[in-house]
């Protein structure tokens, strides 16, 4: 049986996901958020053609998600920003820096945000395509 190395035209892309990457960080508009920090969580879902890696069993032909997680964590714990939207964009830029990544969907969770009312989570999600 032949090895298929391409998806049929029009099919959904392969996806690699790192979900629940968590860190204590100091993002936010308010001074107390910057001073005290809080827990943030990131989900990154990447569109990647995994067929070449699958056909050859070669890590160099796909996204190394351990290395990706380290780069995302460095942004998450790095320079504080006011808006989750800005943080999402910085994280998407990290993903798209890998030429194998065709698109990235980033969700940042801020479950300890101070909304003044009970809630479970606050999220911002963006999707960025290479094109």
Which residues are part of the catalytic machinery? 110
What are the Cα distances from residue 20, in Å, to 7, 56, 108, 109, 117?
Answer: 28, 29, 9, 9, 24
The first and second tokens of residue 7, run together, are 């998806």
Of 93, 92, 78, the residue nearest 37 (C-alpha): 78
- Which H helix or E strand runs over 42? strand 38-48
């Amino acid at each position: 049986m032949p090895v298929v190395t391409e998806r049929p035209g029009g099919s959904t892309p392969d996806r690699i996901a790192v979900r629940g990457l968590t860190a204590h960080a100091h993002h936010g508009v308010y001074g107390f958020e910057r001073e005290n920090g809080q827990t943030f969580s990131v989900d990154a879902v990447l569109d990647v053609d995994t067929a070449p890696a699958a056909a050859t069993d070669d890590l160099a032909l796909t996204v190394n998600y351990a290395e990706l997680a380290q780069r995302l964590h460095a942004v998450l714990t790095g320079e504080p920003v006011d808006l989750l939207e800005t943080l999402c964009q910085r994280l998407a830029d990290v993903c798209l820096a890998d030429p194998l990544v065709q698109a990235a969907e980033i969700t940042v969770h801020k479950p300890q945000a101070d909304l003044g009312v009970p809630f479970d989570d606050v999220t911002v999600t963006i999707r960025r395509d290479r094109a």
